Amino acid sequence: MNYMRTALLLAAMTALFGVIGLLIGGATGMMIALVVAAGMNLFSYWNSDKLALRAHNAHEVDDSTAPELVAMVRQLAERAQMPMPRVYVIDDPQPNAFATGRNPQNAAVAATTGIMQQLTWEELAGVMAHELAHIRNHDTLTMTITATLAGAISTIANFGMFFGGNRERPNLIVTVLISILAPMAAMVVQMAVSRSREYEADKLGGEICGNPVWLADALAKIAGGVARTPSESAERHPQTAHMFIINPLSGQGFDNLFSTHPDTNNRIAALMDQAAQMGYGASSSPGGFLSGSENNPWGSSGSGSTRGPWG
């Protein structure tokens, strides 16, 4: 299903490229745009994850540079019965995280330094489980390619402000409309694609970590942190906002087509319902794969802790 949605998305983006080319340069412009779109689609499939990670200056970590985080992701991946993804850290004080990659065999998870410092160990496990859920559900292919193509469409539309190929058209008016409408169209597509997937990733993430309350508590903290702490890299690359667990651009939250994520309170409520069905209460009580000394080599950070082991 996700591969079909990705194919439809690529087709829609290709058609949009063609329309933009037609308006800017007539039939010749359309052909050039379609060729560019075909090349962009192929490039995005193989390289969109690298572009997303590079956009946020993420650096890969391993057992020697971030042993606790890597070990956590490894345990969660084993619990989810999926390949171990690459692990990245983003030097950003805003608490947030995202996953990327074209399939579970070629995937990565990225966490900001802010989220590692502000969440408890259990809450961070909930977040990483959510990101692994996106990978296992093959959401990351659609989300990452959308980010790349949306950025490309915005660039081409802005390019049209300066170059028009058909003297018989009022080029200034056409290119102004293109520069406004084309990025809006790309944003609507990426918003519609991403928001319905968050609930499913939350649910599966709660199952992977073993206690949905951890993820619910994490979402509340992340939403507050995002509202207080702007992310410079996210502001520079707004087309990647839908990839993060919480919208890094603003604290707004309404369940409608024009929000990149569902309302955080609605997500928390769904997780608490799931936790009740699993027998957990309304606090980060012990439970899940981290509970018990034999399964948690780092020790529990405790429900009252406000910071992870990175201090």
| Catalytic annotation, residues | 131
Show Cβ contacts of residue 251 under 8 Å, excluding neighbours closer than 6 positions: 223, 226, 227
Cα 45–chain centre separation: 16
Match 């955080």 to its residue by tokens: 264
Do you know the residue count of the chain? Answer: 311
Other beta carbons within 10 angstroms of residue 190's beta carbon come to 25
Q: CA–CA distance from 188 to each of 81, 185, 223, 257 (Å)?
A: 34, 5, 22, 7
DSSP assignment letter at 59: E
Cβ contact 124:146 at 8 Å: no
CA atoms within 13 A on the CB side of 150: 26
Quick one: which of 226, 232, 219 has its CA closest to 248?
226
Question: Residue 99: beta bridge partners?
Answer: 109
